[in-house]
A = this chain, B = another copy of it.
């Protein structure tokens, strides 16, 4: 039996590190996005999202406006609302959301079809452009939203809407004659169908998800055939030279050796593959998941957990190709990596997956949102020289400051739903077994199959490494408690009743068999340390990063002046850890180093034989998650090393 996440209604997070982020969802992001979708934000790009539904529902007249997947804005918002209501009731918000459900239900067609772009703008063209039409992608987000809303409120209406939609998909797609033998250009419906299966128990949804995965990339490419049909209409980007590898449809998924193509599509698909590998006990599919995971985390992932290193097409490139200043590293891709990782951890009970999930969440995902919740990064570079990030150049996708709500609003609501459901990553539960993955203070009631336990975690992690864990309600039948031993932990120790407690180590977890209520304190050192990259990562040769626990640090211009490229860090000297009030309280890291002197270059020459000279400097590093919260400036994760 694989493990599963716990009921978000039964977990209350109050954490010195995470709460300030998580609380933004309710206080700022949900209201802001609501206004954005209603076009109430001055100077923002129009959304028209709710108007599209009103037109489809016949409540308003007018024309469709927005991206082909504009409906997903409301879906991701509803999903965040569902998670948020699970955490804390809010009758006014729930009323608003209920109204949205009514609107969505009204917009839905008689037969279950639901996609306002095609209903309003292209009636008669449904399913004719699976490549870029995004109907299945949108359907997937609707399903995830409805499941979250059902779980957060207990209300079934939205769930019924998406079941009707899912039923239509089951009738429409599949191997049987008369059905469309296609699959989505942007994977996501698979994850949605699987979640719907978990909630409804209707096996056909799982089977349809499996169909989409099985059919993908088999035989002649569906999208290339589709484009040749007379009724095909290009409604998205230029497809003249479409390459199936972009959407991981160039070969059967079980034969895919390395992560390729559009990074978000990839990790959404891998997440579904992991679920399906477990549900169907499909070893070949499971092996593909392990292979693809290892390829990413051992060869294609930034130290920040960012993935997708090409600025063009938001795609994976080749092993070890990880440029720092012109990468994409989309926030959504790191969210997808976390989704993939938690599934793998739940299946394998292997903590190494959580090491990566934590890396993605504590660095790239958090960097994706401003501390005030009002700005968002899509692209997550590891090195920025703001002056050079200009339009119509190779770096035009790199933004040196977080952007307000975008026209194509994929990342902001994705961050919102991830923060609102961070609880899903803290624990993994099974039959009489509980795994503690992340060190986030919370109180939870957790269903372990035949019994329920009350668990509390209290910690100031990641700036202190003492984690107090209390488990109550343990029956005499006993249970297994597994607490993660992070890869960066040194001197990991568990105290129980004031004494060091022994434990069994299983795949990166410290495991205890409990027969009664218990209180533990897990303690370890996670000193700041210099980390180097594999020398195959050409971009990082001769450089070091500095990390503490799960946090990757960076240098910012605000602390270290202009031209961070002139700086060299002395790795022979100790890293000083200093408490700071910055960003609501962090540990700053103070390093010793040298700065190249520019005085020799007074004549303004570009090249010359000028000798090198240095001045001693003290460098200050702050968590990458918080960069660009003090105005625009240079930033760098990797620092040159004095050698």
A residues touching B (Cβ–Cβ < 8 Å)? 243, 246, 297-299, 301, 303, 310-313, 315, 317-318, 321, 323, 325-326, 385, 387-388, 390, 392-396, 529-539, 541-542, 545, 563-566, 568, 596, 598, 601, 604-610, 612, 614, 640-643
Other contacts beyond A321-B387, A537-B606: 19, CB < 8 A: A246-B392, A298-B606, A299-B606, A312-B392, A313-B393, A317-B390, A317-B393, A321-B388, A323-B394, A394-B394, A531-B607, A531-B608, A532-B608, A534-B598, A535-B565, A539-B565, A541-B640, A545-B607, A643-B643
Contacts of A566 in B (CB 8 A): 535, 541
A598 to B535, CA, bound (A): 7
Contacts of A608 in B (CB 8 A): 531-532, 534
Contacts of A395 in B (CB 8 A): 310
Candidates B530, B535, B563; contact of A538 at CB < 8 Å: B563
Contacts of A388 in B (CB 8 A): 317-318, 321
A571 nearest CB across to chain B (Å): 8
Pick 6 A–B contacts, CB within 8 A, sort by A: A311-B393, A312-B394, A533-B606, A534-B604, A534-B606, A612-B641
Q: Assess whether B315 is in contact with A601, with CB atoms less than 8 Å apart.
A: no
A243 nearest CB across to chain B (Å): 7
A490 nearest CB across to chain B (Å): 11
Q: Assess whether A605 is in contact with B312, with CB atoms less than 8 Å apart.
A: no
Candidates B318, B542, B605; contact of A387 at CB < 8 Å: B318
Q: Assess whether B534 is in contact with A601, with CB atoms less than 8 Å apart.
A: yes
Candidates B532, B536, B609, B610; contact of A609 at CB < 8 Å: B532
Q: Assess whether A643 is in contact with B606, with CB atoms less than 8 Å apart.
A: no
Name A319's closest neighbour in chain B (CB-CB): B387
Q: Assess whether B532 is in contact with A607, with CB atoms less than 8 Å apart.
A: yes
Contacts of A533 in B (CB 8 A): 606-607
A325 to B323, CA, bound (A): 10
Q: Assess whether A601 is in contact with B535, with CB atoms less than 8 Å apart.
A: yes
Q: Assess whether B392 is in contact with A243, with CB atoms less than 8 Å apart.
A: yes
Q: Assess whether B541 is in contact with A606, with CB atoms less than 8 Å apart.
A: no
A310 to B643, CA, bound (A): 31
- A310-B393 contact in complex given A535-B563, A565-B541, C-beta closer than 8 Å: yes
Contacts of A641 in B (CB 8 A): 612
Q: Assess whether B298 is in contact with A609, with CB atoms less than 8 Å apart.
A: no
Candidates B303, B392, B606; contact of A607 at CB < 8 Å: B303
A273 nearest CB across to chain B (Å): 22
A316 to B84, CA, bound (A): 48
A399 to B303, CA, bound (A): 28
5 A-B pairs with least C-beta separation: A538-B565, A310-B393, A541-B565, A311-B394, A321-B388
A343 nearest CB across to chain B (Å): 21
Of the candidates A301, A326, A394, the one having the most CB atoms from chain B within 10 angstroms of its own CB is A394
Name A598's closest neighbour in chain B (CB-CB): B535
Contacts of A313 in B (CB 8 A): 392-393
Name A532's closest neighbour in chain B (CB-CB): B610
Of the candidates A299, A532, A607, A642, the one having the most CB atoms from chain B within 10 angstroms of its own CB is A607
Q: Assess whether B315 is in contact with A392, with CB atoms less than 8 Å apart.
A: yes
A487 nearest CB across to chain B (Å): 9
Q: Assess whether A301 is in contact with B394, with CB atoms less than 8 Å apart.
A: no
A606 to B545, CA, bound (A): 13
Of the candidates A534, A609, A640, A642, the one having the most CB atoms from chain B within 10 angstroms of its own CB is A534
Name A311's closest neighbour in chain B (CB-CB): B394
A589 nearest CB across to chain B (Å): 15
Contacts of A394 in B (CB 8 A): 310-312, 323, 326, 394
Q: Assess whether A318 is in contact with B606, with CB atoms less than 8 Å apart.
A: no
A349 nearest CB across to chain B (Å): 22
Name A538's closest neighbour in chain B (CB-CB): B565
Contacts of A542 in B (CB 8 A): 542, 565, 568, 596, 640
Contacts of A541 in B (CB 8 A): 563, 565-566, 596, 640
Contacts of A321 in B (CB 8 A): 385, 387-388
A606 to B297, CA, bound (A): 7
Q: Assess whether A538 is in contact with B396, with CB atoms less than 8 Å apart.
A: no
Contacts of A299 in B (CB 8 A): 606
Contacts of A568 in B (CB 8 A): 542, 643
- A535-B596 contact in complex given A311-B394, A394-B394, A640-B541, C-beta closer than 8 Å: yes
A535 to B317, CA, bound (A): 30
Contacts of A532 in B (CB 8 A): 607-610, 612
Name A531's closest neighbour in chain B (CB-CB): B607
A119 nearest CB across to chain B (Å): 28
A243 to B390, CA, bound (A): 13
Of the candidates A388, A529, A537, the one having the most CB atoms from chain B within 10 angstroms of its own CB is A388
Name A238's closest neighbour in chain B (CB-CB): B238
A562 nearest CB across to chain B (Å): 9
A223 nearest CB across to chain B (Å): 16
Name A529's closest neighbour in chain B (CB-CB): B609
A393 to B532, CA, bound (A): 26
Contacts of A606 in B (CB 8 A): 297-299, 301, 303, 533-534, 537
A566 to B320, CA, bound (A): 14
A531 to B611, CA, bound (A): 9
A483 nearest CB across to chain B (Å): 23
